[in-house]
A and B are shown apart, each in its own frame.
Chain A
Amino acid sequence: MTTLLNVQHVSKQYGHDTLALSDVSFSVNEGEFVSVIGPSGAGKSTLLRCINQMVDTTDGEIHFDNAILQQMNKRELRGLRTNIGMIFQHYNLVERLTVIENVLHGRLGYKSTVAGMLGLYKEEEKERGIELLEMLGLREQIYKRCDQLSGGQKQRVGIARALIQEPKMLLCDEPIASLDPNASKRIMDHLKSISRSMGITALVNLHQVDVALSYSDRIIGVSGGKIVFDGSPKEVTQEIIQSIYGSEANDLMVKLGGQNAI
């Protein structure tokens, strides 16, 4: 297995006193499905955003696909970002535009500034967009405005927008945190099958421990800006959950696990 992403001793400090990440190291292989779990404020979102350099690191190095992110100039960074798709809790679509327009936004990074501004997409790109939407069950919604969609449908548009980038990796920041259990399951199934069939590496922030355990090849537990666990879901025990979420989390997890079981 080849390593796609290698995070080495990364730290991130916001302002003077908030150390969001401290000395984080891990690596992810091509095609792996990795979940990041941890309490609120642990630094999960920060970690994800360091990987596509939406947030720049204070210390350490990130290697992605044999390139070092910290040495990239602006132009190279744009090129890097086209290789990494991102999916958000609040979908972050342009609500006033149609589904297909939003999906095609994923191609902007590949275009010249003017062609992108004017929305001049190639025929192949449009066909690919429609293909992806069909795959995600949104055939009927292609020309709908995004503000008319349900949350689950919006998230699928978000997935299509990320996939049309032809990314090597998907970063998902709490993709199911605003969805009901049925829609959540559907989104997670899509992500998993995309990762499998297209060989796309996925790094997913999750709050639902049970979901993380059942879908992932690997779990990374973050707490207080540090990695406190990195291993397969089978190795996760109550003690480990406690070390990630603190001692009071115990009963809660069991209860939540029962309720949200998918």
Chain B
Amino acid sequence: MDAKSIQQSSTILRHSKSNRIKIKPFSKSTFVLRITLAIMAILTVLSFATINFQTIDFWAGLVDTVTNFQTMFTTPQLNHFSFWEGFYAVLITMGLAFLTTLFGAALGLLFGLLSAENLSNKRVSNVIKGSVAFIRAVPTVLWVLIFAVAAGLGSVAAVIGMTFHSAGYLIKAYSESFEELDEGVIEALRASGASWWQIVVQAVIPSSLSYLVSWTFMRFEINFSVAVAMGAAAGAGGIGYNMFMASSFYFDLNEIGAITYYILTFAVLLEVIAIRFKTNISGH
């Protein structure tokens, strides 16, 4: 088709003023998107313009904050526990994160399979997806506090609550990974007489393994930071508790700095291990 016949066969949309050719036809969704962006921009400007500092002098506050950070990070120091005690505390936090991710992953795998539309029936899938959406809508901390009613504040409530939310998260993540799988592969194995479990283990999981690993590590990282917070908020122990004590009981800035370094080191370590693992998997 030459340019002339294109012009004849379809009307080309042009901007009314500049007469340039449009590449995106006007639609409701682009309109809504633009309105949303505009409103957000206005609100951002407005909120900064109307911040009420009350009696606090902004510049003095800024200087104080910087000084505090300086104390924390340039002169870290352990005053209320030893290096190895701290190390042990981080391990406990890590353990909490690991355990809850493991439980979450096990539940995620089972219910993820049952809620993947290509592996399950529509009814079951919808019921699971609905309940999981509800579980995820409630924040992890709240789940821990809810279970604390029965189990009392402490590690048990933290494990149950965090497992609950991890499972919710991983069920969704896994089932979406499973749904990515080419329908034809499942069909091929079904047509050769393979059973559901055989198809799952022989085709579905190998095909989505790299997704599963990424999502699981992602959740492990989230659970690590939640576990730190749980130590402080729910008395689950670990480095979070030391942090809580240092900050609201001893007001010890140097110790907070030291604890931050602990957490940072482990978080980086975790990331490195995760990357190693993932490259190994995708390289077969």
B-side interface mostly:
helix
Given contacts A96-B284, A145-B284, contact A108 B191 (CB under 8 A): no
Number of A-B contacts (CB under 8 A): 86
Nearest chain A CB to B14's CB is how many angstroms away?
36
Cβ of B188 and Cβ of A88 under 8 Å apart?
Answer: yes
What is the bound-complex CA distance between A105 and B198, given in angstroms? Answer: 9
Number of interface residues of B (CB under 8 A): 23
B25 lies within 8 A of chain A by Cβ: no
B residues 188-216 with Cβ under 8 Å of A? Answer: 188-195, 197-203, 206-207, 209
B184 lies within 8 A of chain A by Cβ: yes
What is the bound-complex CA distance between A90 and B187, given in angstroms? Answer: 12
Measured CB to CB, the nearest residue on chain B to A48 is B191
A226 contacts across to B, CB distance below 8 A: none
What is the bound-complex CA distance between A79 and B195, given in angstroms? Answer: 11
What is the bound-complex CA distance between A81 and B198, given in angstroms? Answer: 15
A118 contacts across to B, CB distance below 8 A: 201
Number of interface residues of A (CB under 8 A): 35
Cβ of A106 and Cβ of B192 under 8 Å apart?
Answer: yes
B85 lies within 8 A of chain A by Cβ: no
**Interface code A92-123, partner B: CB below 8 Å = 1, 0 otherwise?**
11111100000001101111010011110000
Most A Cβ at <10 Å: residue of B193, B197, B199? B193
What is the bound-complex CA distance between A109 and B203, given in angstroms? Answer: 14
A86 contacts across to B, CB distance below 8 A: 188, 191-192
A200 lies within 8 A of chain B by Cβ: no
Cβ of B193 and Cβ of A108 under 8 Å apart?
Answer: yes
Q: A-side interface residues toward B, CB under 8 Å?
A: 52, 54, 78-82, 84-86, 88, 90, 92-97, 105-106, 108-111, 113, 116-119, 145, 158, 161-162, 165, 171
17 A-B pairs with CB atoms under 8 Å apart are A54-B190, A79-B193, A81-B190, A81-B191, A81-B192, A84-B191, A90-B182, A92-B184, A94-B185, A94-B207, A108-B198, A109-B192, A113-B198, A116-B197, A116-B201, A117-B198, A161-B192
